[in-house]
Chain A
Amino acid sequence: MNSILSEPFFQRGLLAGLAVALVSGPVGCFIVWRRMAYFGESLAHSGLLGVGLGLLLNFNITLGATITASVLAVLLLALRRQRGLATDTLLGVLSHTALALGLIVVGLATGAASDHMDILFGDVLTVSRQDVIAVWVGAALVLASLGLMWRDLIATSVHEELARAEGVKVERVELGFILLIAVMTAIAMKIVGLLLITALMVIPAAAARRMATTPERMAVLAAGIAGLSVIGGLVASAFLGGASGPCVVLAASSFFALTLLVPQVS
């Protein structure tokens, strides 16, 4: 029974997954506070295009996903200033265009017959030792940046205009934050898959929300819940043989359901 759990590939997956959880908790809190779930989703989808380009042109797919997600992030930020189209409509257009383009490019690179379940839904089997290092470095980078802009980001999330009136450089903070989501997308890709990354950010944060009295506490709680979800999900996927992403997400959903039983703190 224990044999799978002691396999190096499983331990690598777990190690990388925990790094992802550590970041997805806090980043997810801001996504919840700023109502950016759909935004995060779009960035994640665009990552597939980067993966395809990476495979096609032979460079690191994590780097590829980071780049395309970042480019889309900046593009969205610029387009959002444009009036005329509602932001969610704009996201709907760009997100699915990027996803479709990504599927085609990945198909070109790997042959049309192959499926891309591992990239779309996560597969810990594919996590190499190098990946573990890349994920931890990326996670540390995201956490450090988040710490640096924490106060400004909180103020902006509470009330953007008030923060602006009080001297916070809102544009800079916003740009910084969406770049963090882009990096987050890339490092979480192999664990939960591009289609489910947003879930690992939003669900733990949503679960933590009812129990938190300060933003910091909510971020730590969310990281903890995400961590437990990764452990529970990966163990379940090892025994059930399912894709890791759905298992991790279902574990998170279970925690969310449990928190509904906890009375809201006052």
Chain B
Amino acid sequence: MLKANNALLSARDITLDVDGRLILDHVNMDVRRGEIVTVIGPNGAGKSTLVRVMLGLRPFTSGRIERVPNLSVGYVPQSFPQSANVPMNVKRLLSLTMKPKNRDIDKALAETGIAHLKDARVASLSGGELQRALLARALLRKPDLLVLDEPVQAVDFFGEMKLYELISNIRKSHGCGILMVSHDLHMVMAESDRVVCLNGHVCCEGGPEKVQQDPEFAKLFGPSAARMIAAYAHHHDHDHEPHDHHHLEHKH
């Protein structure tokens, strides 16, 4: 079972107990190259915590994290405080912990669609622009695995759609694995290869179609959520090329 699944990053039986409260309960998860895995769940379900455990950013009680050797990770954190910040422009933000070439910075910014913001002050960016800057930052690391914690927070509906499109394109052009956390059920379903429904423990997981028909899913989000997603996925197929076999199976 160990490396047979050729996952980039795996959680094995991860349990996190904080003051007697079980935050993560024997969680297993794999992210493979080229696939988008989305973790969904209600607030307080431990989604961000799981991601932070998997990235080695916080300790856990028991279990094991497995990662392929020399795994390069691009991380876009959930929140990025904008007040009382260090004054800097976007270019500097991209160069904080590495020294990328100017050419690479331009390329990354162009890829995320904000080439014109290279010299803009970080404090002046909108929510969507900031997410794109952070995404460009992550891409500069030539990641095998991209980890996005709530990438569409503070982004309006239109921007959200665009951002998911961008993420989907990045997966195609870079071939990296993508681990994404979201509490937004609609968009996520269309783009993900696998959805992991988390509420402390893994309630259900699998392809988007399978997950939304799972009784556990309905229990967690209510039956109307499942119907809404089905409607969205259907609509989505008409707008874009289908690139998710789960949708193909479902097309009428």
Q: Do A and B come from one complex?
A: yes
CB distance from B7 to the nearest CB of A (A): 19
Contacting residues, chain A, for B89 (C-beta < 8 A): 213-214
CA A158 – CA B94 in complex, angstroms?
Answer: 12
A-B contact pairs, 8 of them (CB 8 A): A32-B84, A151-B96, A158-B88, A158-B93, A161-B77, A163-B96, A212-B87, A215-B87
A109 lies within 8 A of chain B by Cβ: no
A140 lies within 8 A of chain B by Cβ: no
Interface size on B, residues (CB 8 A): 23
- A: residues with CB less than 8 A from B are 32-33, 35, 83, 151, 154-155, 157-159, 161-168, 209, 212-215, 217-218, 266
Contacting residues, chain A, for B124 (C-beta < 8 A): 266
A215 in contact with B86 given A159-B80, A161-B77, A165-B73 (CB within 8 Å) = yes
Nearest residue (CB) in A for B120 is A266
Contacting residues, chain B, for A32 (C-beta < 8 A): 84
Contact, CB under 8 Å: A218 / B87: yes
B75 lies within 8 A of chain A by Cβ: yes
Nearest residue (CB) in B for A212 is B87
Contact, CB under 8 Å: A165 / B87: no
Contact, CB under 8 Å: A213 / B121: yes
- B: residues with CB less than 8 A from A are 19, 52, 55, 57, 73, 75, 77, 80-81, 84-89, 92-93, 96-98, 121, 124, 141
Nearest residue (CB) in A for B97 is A166
Contacting residues, chain A, for B93 (C-beta < 8 A): 158
Among A33, A151, A162, contact of B77 (Cβ-Cβ < 8 Å): A162
CA A213 – CA B121 in complex, angstroms?
Answer: 8
Contacting residues, chain B, for A215 (C-beta < 8 A): 86-88
Among B86, B98, B121, contact of A158 (Cβ-Cβ < 8 Å): B86
Contact, CB under 8 Å: B97 / A213: no
Contact, CB under 8 Å: B52 / A161: yes
A155 in contact with B84 given A164-B57, A165-B73 (CB within 8 Å) = no
Contacting residues, chain B, for A209 (C-beta < 8 A): 87
Contact, CB under 8 Å: A33 / B84: yes
A163 in contact with B97 given A157-B86, A158-B86, A212-B87 (CB within 8 Å) = yes
Nearest residue (CB) in B for A152 is B97
CB distance from A75 to the nearest CB of B (A): 22
Contact, CB under 8 Å: A167 / B77: no
Contact, CB under 8 Å: A33 / B86: yes
CA A213 – CA B84 in complex, angstroms?
Answer: 13
Contact, CB under 8 Å: B97 / A159: no
Contact, CB under 8 Å: B75 / A165: yes
Contacting residues, chain B, for A158 (C-beta < 8 A): 85-86, 88, 93, 96
Contacting residues, chain A, for B57 (C-beta < 8 A): 161, 164-165
CA A162 – CA B149 in complex, angstroms?
Answer: 12
CA A32 – CA B87 in complex, angstroms?
Answer: 11
Contact, CB under 8 Å: B86 / A167: no
Contact, CB under 8 Å: A213 / B96: no
A-B pairs, 10 with minimum CB distance: A166-B97, A165-B75, A155-B96, A212-B87, A33-B86, A155-B97, A215-B86, A158-B86, A162-B77, A161-B77
